[in-house]
Structure 1
Amino acid sequence: MSSENNVNSGSKAVIRKRIKAVRNAMDRADCVRRSELICKRLSELPEYVNARNICAYISKGNEVDTKLIIERAWADGKHVYVPKVYGKEMEFIEIADYGELAPGNFGILEPKSDDRSEIKDGLMFMPGVAFDKTRSRIGFGGGYYDRYLEKHEYLVTAALAYDCQIVESIASEQTDIKPHIIVTESKVIS
């Protein structure tokens, strides 16, 4: 697979559909190998090393496997928070192991608890379908992360993506929030 996807034009919906198809067609063993490289690269960055709090989404399907970095964060003594959706909003709730999760909205694992706490600093992993070299992002279309980060702009954000998810250009809107860094299996874009 080339390091840059040749899906370089079209609406967000068209790019989202094409990149999801490319990612979903990836071999599972290849996804695991690439996820390991991404998580290793991320764990060496000062943004991760210096963070006491990690806000991580629970990956699904062929997304970059966040389980690897979540387990690394626990081993490193960091607090791990994962999202729980409440209508059109989401909050992050601390978990100490995977037994604290249950299927929630969209079939994604969420905390069973509703014990919300204000996270004053930390590193947040932003999910996404596609990204470009300027760090513009196409998410899944719900706007949850953009709304959350609008209120929590002090969090450092990192997108975890395969090289094939990097496209030439994405038209961004005023409400779109770019991650500070994008970590792929071959590079860090900042």
Structure 2
Amino acid sequence: MKREMRRYFKALRDRISEYERETWNEEIRKKLFNLDKFRNASEIFTYLSKNDEVDTRKIIEKSWKMGKKVYIPKITEDRKMIPVLLESFNDLTYGLYDIETSKNRKTSNKIEISLVPGLSFDKNRHRIGYGGGFYDKFIKDNESFYIGLFYDISESFNLNLDPLDEKLDMIISDKKII
């Protein structure tokens, strides 16, 4: 069931026009930047967006301007995801599974805000990710405030499908905050 849902929501996201994508990304950024929790955080962890995902590069740039330390995922040989410091987009390199990560080895266990990607969400703050389980394991093992970034068209009715799926603290879409 999850495989079909992933395919459906990926195809749906692929059909978003560039204009819609940028408009919706801007709405999501505004909501995020207006959160006291985000403004007051000194360290954030975020995915590095690709193609059709909610854009995080402008979030990263604004975070640097705000004086925040920004961490991005690195997948280790033992299939764990760890946060590594990103001080510049020039620090990017390709890691395992051809995922862009930072050359930097500095990590942190004081990350206050973590931005999480996914393909779909529901009103109960469940999400469907890409199927690797990296974020669910990370959420289970690390304290932070977890915010999922989604386009509103990705909302599902009920995604509480698997006991290993971790619930997020907040969802931000272009239309609402849950």
Asked if 1:165 is matched to 2:154, the reply is yes
Stretch moving more, 57-66 or 165-174: 165-174
Q: 1:14-64: per-residue Cα shift (whole Å, max 9, x none)?
A: 111100000011112321221111011111012211211110100001100
Correspondence for 2:64: 74
CA distance in structure 2 between the partners assigned to 1:161 and 1:105 by the alignment: 25
Correspondence for 1:91: 82
Q: 28, 36, 40: which is aligned to 1:38?
A: 28
CA distance in structure 1 between the partners assigned to 2:70 and 2:89 by the alignment: 11
**How large is the RMSD of aligned CA atoms in angstroms?**
1.3
Does 1 or 2 have the higher relative contact order (CA < 8 Å, sep 6+)?
Answer: 1
Correspondence for 1:134: 124
Correspondence for 1:100: 91
Query: Once superposed, which parts of structure 1, at least 4 consecutive aligned residues long, lie more than 6 Å away?
Result: none
CA distance in structure 2 between the partners assigned to 1:182 and 1:156 by the alignment: 11
CA distance in structure 2 between the partners assigned to 1:121 and 1:98 by the alignment: 20
Structure 1, gaps ≥5 residues long: 1-10
Decide whether the 8 Å contact of 2:45 with 2:111 is kept in 1.
no
Give the secondary structure class of the aligned counterpart of 1:167.
Answer: coil
CA distance in structure 1 between the partners assigned to 2:111 and 2:56 by the alignment: 20
Give the secondary structure class of the aligned counterpart of 2:130.
Answer: coil
TM-score, reference length from structure 2: 0.94
Give the secondary structure class of the aligned counterpart of 1:188.
Answer: coil
TM-score, reference length from structure 1: 0.88
Asked if 1:175 is matched to 2:164, the reply is yes
Post-superposition shift, 1:104? 2.7
Post-superposition shift, 1:119? 2.1
Listed as ranges, the matches of 1:149-160 within 5 Å are 149-152=139-142, 154-160=143-149
Asked if 1:145 is matched to 2:135, the reply is yes
CA distance in structure 2 between the partners assigned to 1:35 and 1:107 by the alignment: 25
State the percentage of identical aligned residues. 33
How many aligned residue pairs are there? Answer: 177
Structure 2, gaps ≥5 residues long: none
Q: 1, 9, 14: which is aligned to 2:4?
A: 14
Q: 1:95-145: per-residue Cα shift (whole Å, max 9, x none)?
A: 1110000123343321123x1423224100011111111111100000001
Decide whether the 8 Å contact of 1:137 with 1:172 is kept in 2.
no
Letter in 2 for 1:37: E
Asked if 1:65 is matched to 2:72, the reply is no
CA distance in structure 1 between the partners assigned to 2:9 and 2:96 by the alignment: 22
